[in-house]
Structure 1
Amino acid sequence: MRTSILIQTQQTNKTSVLILITLLPNRYKSYDSLFQIIILLFAIVIGLYYLCKSQQNNTIDMKIAIIGAGNMGSAIACGLVNSRLINPCDIIVSNPSQEKLETLKSFNSEINVTNDNKEAAKGSDIIILAVKPWIVETVLEEILFKKQQILISVAAGITFGQLGKYSDDHITMFRIIPNTAISLGCSMTLIASHNATSEQEKMVMNLFDRFGITKIISEEKMAAATALTSCGIAYVLKYIQAAMQAGVEMGIKPQDAAEMVAQSCKGAAELILKNHSHPSIEIDKVTTPGGLTIKGINELEHDGFSSAIIKAMRASV
């Protein structure tokens, strides 16, 4: 009779390394316990070896520079490290604030940091520009781009035409617009490309898929889509805030009201995303004739709720 041990080491929620070790036959009774201990230890070592090897095989062999260590730049750096798609030692972040760089180093000591943008960009395959729109020109003009480098701009409102003027119009460029939920891996990220191949588009989508949902759109639609996603998250939060205030007025504790409303919004979003449904269909399911919900919806419409949302979106373009 032979005995087997199954060792499973979890890499992510999608991948695992399975190693099946078969112990020696039981006829070696005098050495059975010793053999089992040795084989078990051997199995653990082999399992860890293949786990590390699997992790290495799933990483992208590219060096990434992130210019800017503000909220967005830091969130991208930390997200890439957590995704295990990029080795931390292949990431370099530049920023004038040493304090922000030290915060990143405390998150992962293998991340490279510098105060010199040119130094960060020099040996990188991908340069992610995560700075405020009004300093894009200053930052780009100090970097000497190589033809094979890819520029990814997270600066809202800066077009490919402007990026090309400040850098080199012949390089591959991407405009990326995430929203603040990127820090939780729940962003709706917009991607537009310039001079990019389909393989490069897939690679950039693969990078930012780690932060939520990505969608490739044309640059012409970027402003409108930004109103829906990057600005839109603030409008959803404004609804949550107003609903919380109503809850407090009706005697519910603020923290309880926040949890109730936020979870309701999360549930509503999941109904659309998971069921591929339409809001009107889901609304009809909870609006019983003569019921409380339809009365509330009618009050919203009497006060111009839908019109206010549409006007806010259009004002954000």
Structure 2
Amino acid sequence: MCDSVAIIGAGNIGRAIAEGLVAAGSYAPAEVHVTRRRVDRLADLAERGFRVSADNPGVVAACDTVLVAVQPQALDAVLTGIAPRVEAGRHLLVSVVSGASIAAIRRHVGPDVPIVRAMPNTAVALRESMTCLAAEAAHAGALDRVAELFRAVGATLVIDEEHMVPATALCACGVAFFPRAVRAACQGGIEIGFHPEEALRMAAQTALGAAALVRDRGRHPEREIDSVTTPRGCTIAGLNEMEHRGLFLRFHQGDHDLRREGGVAVRR
């Protein structure tokens, strides 16, 4: 990428994207403009060379690619503020705002600005995100550009826009779901005799390895499970206990609840 990028809303996901793009070499820190109302909370990024500001219209004027990463309730106000600076022949607008449709965004910026919806997760900071992308058919070229951007920080998948809410449940919220399983394994490791630091390292690396087996071999997860499950062994005993305790049902129910709430996670 050669132009500067503006990231409006440097909260958890906006900050992660900024750090991931620099780590991937897509941009130098000075080419990444990040904004937040409380600029003092971006002091560490400023020290590392990022361009920090509270001036959303100003950074839009300075950059061709504008990534909006604010909270859903703030989106209308942010779009109203930057719309006069958005130029149809120049800007590419990328939204990572949960639940905000392309049609809703377009009402602010007009009919001709390319808009791409992206749903990454915070693993983007480590270049391990799963990012789902959607755009209107007329802006396939913009979709290709955004896919290139996010491929530098993980894997990408182009989906229909109607599937963005389920993608949020599976990918964006998933980075909270799976660590719960890692935490449970860590606690189990402590219970059977390992120190907490050892148990956490063992659990996290095992989870990483299991995910890599499924991803890189392209086999169904049950095939990987079958490869380590032996008659009367401890693996099948553990699997049966997990089933009995409802772990898998809880994961499924969590996704269902998120879809039902329209993509807004509700802590129960």
- Asked if these proteins are the same fold (TM beyond 0.5), I'd say yes
1:66 touches 1:77 (CA, 8 Å); kept in 2? yes
2:44 is the counterpart of 1:75: no
Contact 1:173 1:195 in 2 (8 A): no
Give the residue type in structure 1 aligned to 2:36. Answer: N
Query: Is 2:189 the partner of 1:278?
Result: no
- Alignment RMSD, CA only? 1.7
Q: In structure 2, give the amino acid aligned to 1:178.
A: P
Distance 2:141 2:103 in 1: 23
Q: Which residue of 2 aligns with 1:12?
A: none
Q: Secondary structure at the match of 1:142?
A: helix
1:243 and 1:79 map into 2 onto residues whose CA distance is: 28
2:25 aligns to what? Answer: 84
Cα contact 1:231–1:316 (8 A) shared by 2: no
Contact in 2 for aligned 1:163/1:169 (Cα 8 Å): no
Unpaired runs of 5+ in structure 2?
260-268
Letter in 1 for 2:209: G
Secondary structure of 2:152's match? Answer: helix
Q: Which residue of 2 aligns with 1:120?
A: 59
Deviation at 1:142, TM superposition (A): 0.9
Q: Which structure has the higher relative contact order (CA within 8 Å, separation 6+)? A: 2
Which of 149, 174, 193 matches 1:207?
149
- Equivalent residue number for residue 311 of structure 1: 253
Aligned to 1:233: 175
Q: Which of 179, 191, 201 is the aligned partner of 2:133?
A: 191
- Aligned-pair CA distance for 1:271: 0.6
State the alpha-carbon separation in 2 of the partners of residues 150 and 196 from structure 1: 13
Task: Choose which of 54, 71, 74 in structure 2 pairs with 1:135.
Answer: 74
Which moved further from structure 2: 68-77 or 132-141? Answer: 68-77
Q: 2:194 aligns with which of 234, 237, 252?
A: 252
Shift of 1:119: 0.8
Alignment: residue pair count: 256
Rounded to whole Å, the distance in 2 between the matches of 1:314 and 1:164 is 29
Q: Taking structure 1 as the reference length, what is the TM-score of the superposition?
A: 0.76
1:58-69 alignment runs, 5 A limit: 60-69=1-10
CA shift at 1:102, angstroms? 2.9
Query: Distance in 2 between the 1:287 and 1:81 partners?
Result: 42
Alignment of 1:27-106 (within 5 A): 60-106=1-47
Contact 1:232 1:313 in 2 (8 A): no
User: What TM-score comes out, normalization by structure 2 length?
Assistant: 0.89
The alignment partner of 1:238 has SS state of: helix
Per-residue CA deviation, residues 31-86 of structure 1 (Å, 9 max, x unaligned), is xxxxxxxxxxxxxxxxxxxxxxxxxxxxx232321112222222222222232323
Structure 1 or 2, whichever has the larger Rg, is: 1
* Equivalent residue number for residue 50 of structure 1: none
Contact 1:69 / 1:100 at 8 angstroms: preserved in 2? no
Instruction: Structure 1: state its 5+ residue gaps.
Output: 1-59
Cα distance, 1:279 vs. partner? 0.7
State the match for 2:263 in structure 1.
none
Distance 1:134 1:267 in 2: 38
